[in-house]
């Protein structure tokens, strides 16, 4: 179950201080906010000595500036960080960031790890037929939820006019032995960031796909059960392809997962077929039908 977001201790202390301040005439240095008005959202960066320094969120314009979803709990899987140990990773991020800045916003954003990245490899035939001129591939091999979130927060997200984002993430966190609930929270943080920052976008959150060894399947089912709860019938939809990737004996199908993790060309075609009712509907979707299984 997604954790209930509790205010940090520093916020509680600030609230007590503010209550005392209100009792003193002239305490305020600026006009009071109207009742119910949101506080200016802030982000945080690592400062000297490893401390956390608050900073204003990047201005993007429009209603997407407002935080409309709960702040994620502070977990390893939600703590946005770059992969500094991989020397190629930051240069790759900068190249992707430059590409995003130089092109018109894409209609569909594909966000994830190597499985998403491989739309440009094994899945290229399907990509060219279905998404050429429409899609932007924001997949990076080996990424965990926290590094995907960092990329989106640091220049890879330009979504004015984008209609959809397809998010497939979390399998590498399972490789790290992260707790099932924490993995779900990490994926949710990505989804909520997209919803908050991109006012025109709707997000399709994919269930984590089956993989080998089969010992992962229990965790995958539990994470996906949590991700399914994100589906609100409108801005967030849940799509689980797991049953199509398993044999009748409940093990991953080698024809679709040749190495037990990554997809075959046929698997990318199945994925595209499952996305088509959303991506090709021109907004004419019957949300009353609920999520797609």
Integer-rounded Cα radius of gyration of the chain: 20
Joined tokens for residue 276: 């088509």
Q: Phi then psi for 192, rounded to 5 degrees?
A: -65, -35
Contact between 283 and 163 under an 8 Å Cβ cutoff? The reply is yes
CA atoms of 75 and 285, how far apart (whole Å): 35
Q: Is 262 labeled as catalytic in the residue annotation?
A: yes
> What are φ and ψ of residue 169, in 5° steps?
-155, 165
* 55 backbone dihedrals φ, ψ, rounded to 5°: -150, 155
Distance of alpha carbon 284 from its chain centroid, rounded? Answer: 24
Q: In what order do the strands lie in the sheet with 164-168?
A: 135-139, 108-112, 164-168, 202-206, 236-239
Among the listed residues 54, 175, 259, 280, the single catalytic one is 259
Q: Is the backbone of residue 100 left (phi > 0), alpha (psi -120 to 50) or beta? A: alpha
Active-site residue flag, 248? no
Q: Across-strand partners of 109?
A: 136, 165
Buried b (16+ CB within 10 A) or exposed e, 107-138: ebbbbbbbbbbbbeebbeebbeebbeeebbbb
CA-based nearest residue to 126, from 254, 280, 267, 241: 267
Q: Are 223 and 172 in contact (CB under 8 A)?
A: no
Catalytic member of 65, 114, 181, 200: 114
Active site residue 259: yes
Pick the catalytic residue: 93, 192, 193, 262?
262
- Tell me if 209 sits within 8 A of 245, measured CB to CB: yes
Active site residues: 114, 259, 262
């Amino acid at each position: 179950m997604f954790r209930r977001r509790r205010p940090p201790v520093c916020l509680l202390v600030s609230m007590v201080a503010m209550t005392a301040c209100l009792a003193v005439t002239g305490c305020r240095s600026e006009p009071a906010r109207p009742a119910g008005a949101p506080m200016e959202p802030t982000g945080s960066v690592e400062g000297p000595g490893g401390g956390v320094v608050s900073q204003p969120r990047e201005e993007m314009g429009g209603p997407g500036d407002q935080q409309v979803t709960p702040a994620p709990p502070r977990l390893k899987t939600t703590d946005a960080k770059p992969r500094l140990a991989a020397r190629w990773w930051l240069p790759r991020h900068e190249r992707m960031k430059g590409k995003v800045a130089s092109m018109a916003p894409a209609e569909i954003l594909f966000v994830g790890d190597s499985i998403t990245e491989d739309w440009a490899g094994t899945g290229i035939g399907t990509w060219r037929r279905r998404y050429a001129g429409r899609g932007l591939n924001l997949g990076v091999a080996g990424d965990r939820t926290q590094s995907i979130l960092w990329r989106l927060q640091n220049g890879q997200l330009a979504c004015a006019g984008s209609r959809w984002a397809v998010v497939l993430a979390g399998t590498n966190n399972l490789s790290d032995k992260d707790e099932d609930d924490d993995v779900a929270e990490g994926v949710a943080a990505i989804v909520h960031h997209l919803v908050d920052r991109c006012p025109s976008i709707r997000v399709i959150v994919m269930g984590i796909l089956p993989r080998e060894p089969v010992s992962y399947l229990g965790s995958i089912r539990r994470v996906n059960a949590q991700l399914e709860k994100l589906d609100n019938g409108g801005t967030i939809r849940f799509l689980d392809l797991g049953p199509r990737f398993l044999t009748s004996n409940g093990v991953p199908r080698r024809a679709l997962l040749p190495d037990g993790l990554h997809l075959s060309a046929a698997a990318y075609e199945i994925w595209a077929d499952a996305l088509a009712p959303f991506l090709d509907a021109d907004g004419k979707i019957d949300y009353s039908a609920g999520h797609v299984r």
